[in-house]
Structure 1
């Protein structure tokens, strides 16, 4: 039994959204009660107690679209890399990195990402992996890191024909093997999906192979219309728009997650809505790659389950919250845009997305929910109450303000110190591997 108390509690429970002074009691992987510190300490006198010291206690974050394999890109300079557009960015940077990753690189990239997730209060991720230099076993290396660090993870490998049919087949089989493995996992912390890069790098033959090897219990995780080139390719080669092609291949559905959806039209939105398909918005990545701004506000208004991700650009969900907030105001020339939609995406919809793959109630502090809780070092200088919580968070908090992270009832970080992980060794190993990767890339 663990009690986290003496804090300002943001519950995300509509029946009791905020407590000026409160506590959360956890037993194993589940929250058993939320109430006053005095009440919970009296009810559970033998429980371990962590004093939040009047900081903010709130549900941990969920990242609906990550890229672990991008970890070693930070500061990487590739000889001759001078992109003129999105396709140049993909081939010149990201595909160059993934073609040179070893299994050890994948494992260490995962460790680095999970460390950053914990330090930013993220306890659940949906990762979309690529390592065409070492495909077989790559998802199992990520799972190994996930279990060592304690971060709940839904994993997939991005199927693509870009490096030939044999590697496309190997990527399908890596997904299929891992999905079957994940479906047997009893920890409640691991899940799998059938990953796909994007329709413009996947032939009909490979689409058919993926469909034949996907268990019915899971869906697909695929980039959709991230760049205008993806749309142009689909129109030219298949005579239809992207979402129509996905519909024809029965890819859409309640278990499928579409990344980006920048260049989609109202007809495609109707298909996404009617099939219950999920969408994830990645604002910083879209801006950084100069891909454009998706019609995210319209997706939310249409009732399409739309979440928030980072695309590996950052591991700080508050950073994505801030950027999405201003991006859609700027894009729509409307200062009223995004105030309600983006918090809904981050704090409500990401949990709904995750609950389609994990068996616990996520993203809320209430009895019976997952014991995923963080403490944020924030002392409001203006009045804080249930009506202005999101305003305080978007303007006053970053992921680096997280001081304590609890996932599935396990303390992963306390007072900014990781527990059970030798962070210094992980970082040293990552620096060595990243240097070797850079040398391989630039000596080719």
Structure 2
């Protein structure tokens, strides 16, 4: 049993949003009580005490679109690479990298990513993986690190035609194989059917995937991220991207559509009527110069709209800040986004996660999973339940997370990893990155 306190508890539970001088009590993997610190300390004298040092006690964060495979690209300089548009970025960098990734590189990528997640207070992720250098078993390699670091993970492998029919079928098989493996540990792992994007998926491939997907896994796919995805769909099939995917049976309640930038009103309505989830990735969209989605339109249509990072970072507070600015910039209206963006991160992300994990996530209340973080933040102005999101937006970064607990296990305490040697881990990661870089530029 753990008693975490004393601090200002922001529960994300509408029934009791804030507790000053509060604490959280956890037993095994669940929260058993949230309340006044002094009262709980007297009630549970036998509990192991974890000092929150007066910080903000908050649910662990959730990232609904990540790319573990991109972790070893930080600092990488590729020969003959000077992209002028998004397709050149994909073909010259990301397709080149994922084609070179072997399972040892994938493991190192997972270590680097999950280490960052723990440091930034992220306890659940949805990852979209590609490693065409070695497909078989790659999701299991990631899953092992997910369990070691204690980051709940929904995994998939990116199906694409770009490396030929045989590799496409191997990718489908990897999704299906891992789905069976994930069933053995449903509290921590789950699976989706990964798809790259409409423009790298022929009609024959989509038909094959749907026919093979007997378990009705939800699909995790990039949708109309770049204008080329829309143009390809119109030129080849006479359909806009969302409509094409709808007609192929890809949309639905358990499907996650990344980006959705180049979509029109009819497509937004189609996403809404199929209850398809959409995830916004602001930094990636700006960095790739693909445009910005109309998240106000998506949100107001009733779509379950979440926030991710697309591999750009593991820091959800960073994504929160970027999303807040980008929605205002796109609308040319500084008054928008104040409600929608925090709703995406702190409410919708957990609702999306709960569609794939049959647990209560992202909230501090009895019965919820014991995923809890402590943020070192001493507010310079009054802080209460009505302005907490503003304090987090303007006053907090992922590096302000000092303690991370997942599944009732302390993973990081006062910025120190528990049971793992950070220096040794990063030494191994750098060695794998070096081998990959030499291969890519060889």
Q: Tell me whether the two structures share a fold, i.e. TM-score over 0.5.
A: yes
1:128 aligns to what SS in structure 2? Answer: strand
Where do 4+ consecutive residues of structure 1 move more than 3 Å? none
Q: Does 1:377 align with 2:376?
A: yes
Aligned position for 1:25: 25
Counterparts of residues 394-405 of structure 1 (less than 5 Å): 394-405=393-404
| Counterpart position of 2:91 | 91
Which has the higher mean CA deviation after the structures are superposed, 127-136 or 37-46? 37-46
Q: 1:421 maps to which residue?
A: 420
Aligned to 1:57: 57
Q: What is the CA–CA distance in structure 1 between the aligned matches of 2:314 and 2:2, rounded to whole Å?
A: 27
SS of the counterpart of 2:9? Answer: strand
**The residue matched to 1:20 in structure 2 has which SS?**
strand
Q: How does 1:39-438 map to 2 (within 5 A)?
A: 39-186=39-186, 188-438=187-437
1:145-195, CA deviations, whole angstroms, 9 ceiling, x for partnerless residues?
111111100000000000111101110100111112212325x00000000
2-side partners of 1:420 and 1:267: how far apart?
52
d(CA) in 2 for partners of 1:374, 1:329: 29
**1:175-233 deviation line (CA, Å, top 9, x unaligned):** 111112212325x0000000000010011121122112224352100000000000000
Matched residue of 1:54: which SS?
Answer: coil
What's the secondary structure of 2:377's corresponding residue? coil
Rounded to whole Å, the distance in 2 between the matches of 1:185 and 1:22 is 32
SS in structure 2 of the partner of residue 53 of structure 1: coil
Preserved CA contact (<8 Å) 2:20 2:36? no
Q: Is the 8 A contact 2:125 2:151 kept in 1?
A: yes
Unaligned runs of 5+ in 1: none
Structure 2: segments with no counterpart, 5+ residues = none
Relative to the length of structure 1, the TM-score reads: 0.98
Question: What is the CA–CA distance in structure 2 between the aligned matches of 1:204 and 1:182, rounded to whole Å?
Answer: 29
Residue 37 of structure 2 is aligned to residue 37 of structure 1: yes
Which stretch has the larger CA shift, 355-364 or 341-350? 355-364
The one-character-per-residue Cα deviations of 1:401-423 (angstroms, maximum 9, x if unpaired) are 00000011111100111112221
Contact 1:176–1:215 (Cα < 8 Å) also in 2 = no
Partners of 2:21 and 2:259 in 1: CA distance: 39
Tell me which moved more, 370-379 or 39-48.
Answer: 39-48
Distance in 2, Cα, partners of 1:325 & 1:383: 22
Contact 1:115–1:149 under 8 Å retained in 2: yes
Retained in 2: the 8 A contact 1:276–1:305?
yes
Q: For 1:108 and 1:148, locate their aligned partners in 2 and report how far apart those are by CA, in whole Å.
A: 13
Deviations 1:307-329 (A, max 9, x none): 00000001000000000001111
Residue deviations 1:238-291 (CA, integer Å, cap 9, x gap): 110111111111111100000000001111111111111100000000000000
Question: 1:211, 1:183 → 2: CA distance?
Answer: 20
The DSSP-based 3-state class of the residue aligned with 2:123 is strand
**Corresponding residue SS for 2:129:** coil
Aligned-partner SS, 1:58: strand
* d(CA) in 1 for partners of 2:409, 2:358: 17
Is contact 2:65–2:309 with CA below 8 Å preserved after alignment? yes
CA distance in 2 between partners of 1:426 and 1:211 (Å): 39
Residue by residue over 1:20-45, the C-alpha shift from the partner in whole angstroms, topping out at 9 and shown as x without a partner, is: 21000011111111101111111111
Structure 1 vs Structure 2 CA RMSD? 0.8
Distance in 2 of aligned mates of 1:176 and 1:140 = 12
SS in 2 for 1:8: strand
